[in-house]
Amino acid sequence: MNHPTEKSLDELLADLPRDVVPPRHLWRGISVRLNPPRRSRPLAYAMAAGIAGACMASALTWAVLHERAAAPAAPLTARAANFDESRNPRYVAARDDLEVNFRERLALLDPATRARIEASLAVIRRAHEEIRKALASDPASPVLEQLWQSTWHDELDLYDHVVRATQPAMTRT
Amino acid sequence: MGVVEEWENRVGTVQMLQSTGAMEAAAEPTELIAAAAGGDLRAFEHLYRQFSPRVYGLCLRLTGQREAAEDCTQDSFVAAWRALAGFEQRSRFSTWLHRIAVHSVLARRRGLRVDYEVPEPATGLPDRADPASDGPPLDLERAIAALPDGARHVLVLVGLYGFSHAEAAHALGVAEGTCKAQLHRARSLLTAALGLERS
C-alpha cells in the first residue's frame, strides 16, 4: 500500500476526484430561480377568489354540520398536514372510500343541508381545478404546489366533517 | 420517444463513463442542450444532473468553502440557462459551463470578499499538525484550500480541471505568464506543505 508521502504531487493531484456530488437541495433553488411565478393578475385574482371561496365553503359546511354534531370533529387536515399523498395510489383509494361513505351519509341529510354541502364541495373543486391548470403551466412553483395540496385537504375535511357529524344521528335512529 | 426519455436510457452509459474518468470522451448531449435552449426545463435538469458534480467540485476547490460553492453552483446554472440560447457549440458544453462557473466564483468573490477569504497562515502554507511525527501529511484538499487565492485558482483550473494556461489566464483576467508563475508557486507551496520530495 502506498503511503501518501511516497507519491509525487502530480500523482496526488491526479487521485483527487474532480466530481463532487452537490447537496440535493441545490436544484430546487435553481428551478425556483429559473421559473418564478408568472401568473397574470386575473388568474392570480381568480385563484385567490377560489381559495377564499374554498375556505368559506369549508367554514360554512362546518358551521352547518356543527349544529348537528354534539362535539366538533377533529379536522382531517391535522393528520394530512405536510403529507404529499395526492399522487399516492393508496391514498387516492382511501380517499375514494371516504367519498363513498360521504355520499351515503349525505343522502341521509335534509335537502337544504345537502344542497349547501354540495355547493361547498363545488367551490372547493373549482379552486382545485384552477390550481391544477396553473400548476400545469408552472409546475415548479412551490406556492401552487402548496395550494394544490391545501385544496385536497379542504375536500377531505369536508368529507370528514359530514361523516363524523352524521355519525351520532345515525346511531340515534 | 422524447429527448429526455431517450437520454434517460443513456444514464447507465454516462455513469459508467463518469466512474472510469472517461467523461470527457462522452458524446456531447446536443439534443438535451437544444431542448433546454428552447426552454425545456426538464431537459435542463438532466444537464444539471450530468454536469453539476464537476461544476460543484470546481466551485468548491476555487472557493474553498462549501456554502460559497453551493451559491456559485446555483449562480452558474442560472446564468447558463439564461445564456443557453446563445451557446453556439463552438466549444464543448462542459468547457462553456466551467467558464461560467469560474466567472460566478470571481464575481461573487469581488462582491463578498470577506466571506470568501480562506484562512491563510503568514507563510501561505498550512502548518503540519505534528512536524515530528511520521504520520500522513495534511490532507491535500486542505492544503489546496490554504493556498493564496491566485495560486489556488490557477492550480485548480490548470492542475485539476484541465484548463490550458491561455484559458485559465483569460478566465482569471491575468497574463498567461502570471498564470504559469502562479502554478509554479502553487506547486512549490503544496510540495513543502505536504512534505513531498521536490522533483
Distance (Å) from the alpha carbon of A21 to chain B's nearest alpha carbon: 5
User: What's the CATH code of the domain at B155?
Assistant: 1.10.10.10
- Please give the pLDDT value at position B165: 95
Contact: A27, B48; criterion CB under 8 Å: yes
Query: Where does a domain end: B117, B152, B187?
Result: B117
Residues of B with Cβ-Cβ distance to A27 under 8 angstroms: 45, 48-49, 52
Residue A29 pLDDT exceeds 80: yes
- Residue in chain A lying closest to B158 (CA): A13
Contact B59, B68 (CB under 8 A): yes
Residues 6+ away with beta carbon under 8 Å from A31 = A140, B41, B45
Residue B180: count of CB within 10 angstroms of its CB: 15
Domain that holds residue B167: 127-199
Mutate to test the interface with A, among B63, B72, B77 (most CBs of A within 10 A): B77
- Whether B199 and B139 map to the same domain: the answer is yes
Contact across the interface for A31 and B70, Cβ inside 8 Å: no
Of residues B20 and A168, more confidence is placed in A168
Q: Is residue B177 included in any domain, yes or no?
A: yes
Residues 6+ apart with CB under 8 A from A133: none
Examine the fold and report which residue of B83, B117, B151 is the final residue of a domain before the chain moves on: B117
CA of A91 vs chain B CAs: smallest distance (Å): 27
Q: Point out the residue among B48, B60, B137 whose CB comes nearest to the CB of A20.
A: B60
CA dist list (Å): B187 to A15, B121, B142, B158: 16, 17, 14, 11
Whether A9 and B196 lie within 8 Å, measured CB to CB: yes
Q: Please check whether residues B52 and B107 belong to one and the same domain.
A: yes
Contact A30 B48 (CB under 8 A): yes
Mutate to test the interface with A, among B62, B140, B157 (most CBs of A within 10 A): B140
Task: Tell me: do B103 and B176 sit in the same domain.
Answer: no
> Do B112 and B37 lie in a common domain?
yes
Task: Please report, for chain A, the start and end positions of each structural domain, with discontinuous segments joined by +.
Answer: 40-172
HEC per residue, chain A = CCCHHHCCHHHHHHHCCCCCCCCCHHHHHHHHHHCCCCCCHHHHHHHHHHHHHHHHHHHHHHHHHHCCCCCCCCCCHHHHCCCCCCCCHHHHHHHHHHHHHHHHHHCCCCHHHHHHHHHHHHHHHHHHHHHHHHHHHCCCCHHHHHHHHHHHHHHHHHHHHHHHHHHHHHHHC
- End-of-domain residue from the set B59, B86, B117: B117
Q: What's the gap in Å between the CA of A32 and the closest CA on chain B?
A: 10
**Mean pLDDT per 10-residue section of chain B, whose length is 199 residues:** 46 38 64 92 94 95 91 94 87 92 88 42 38 52 91 95 93 93 95 80
Domain tally, chain B = 2
The CATH number linked to B80 is 1.10.1740.10
In this structure, the answer to whether residues B63 and B101 fall within a common structural domain is yes
- pLDDT digit string (tens) for B5-59? 444 444 333 333 344 444 444 678 999 999 999 999 999 999 999 999 999 999 9
CA distance A89 to B64: 45
Q: Do B161 and A23 touch (CB under 8 A)?
A: no
A108 closest CA partner among A61, A70, A68, A73: A68
Q: What is the pLDDT of residue A55?
A: 58
> A138 vs chain B: nearest CA distance in angstroms?
11
Contacts of A18 in chain B (CB under 8 A): 54, 57-58, 160-161
Same domain? For B101 and B169 the reply is no
**Contacts with B65 (C-beta within 8 Å, 6 or more apart), sequence order:** B115, B116, B118
For position B85, what pLDDT does the model report? 86
B99 and B154 share a domain? no
Same domain for B63 and B139, yes or no, is no
- B72 and B98, same domain (yes or no): yes
The answer on B132 and B112 residing in a single domain is no
Lowest mean pLDDT among A7-16, A73-82, B25-34, B138-147: A73-82
Residues B135 and B104 in one domain: no
Note whether residue B11 is domain-resident: no
8 Å CB contact of A4 and B197: no
Residue B110 lies in a domain: yes
Question: B185 CB near a chain A CB, below 8 Å?
Answer: no
Task: Assess whether B139 and B174 both reside in one domain.
Answer: yes
Residue A83 has pLDDT above 50, yes or no: no
Q: Is residue B19 part of a domain?
A: no
Q: How much is the pTM? A: 0.53
- What is the rounded CA–CA span in Å between residue B199 and residue B197? 6
A-proximal residues of B, 18-47, CB under 8 Å = 18, 41, 44-45
**pLDDT tens digits, A104-162:** 888 888 888 888 888 888 878 877 777 777 777 666 666 666 676 767 777 777 887 78
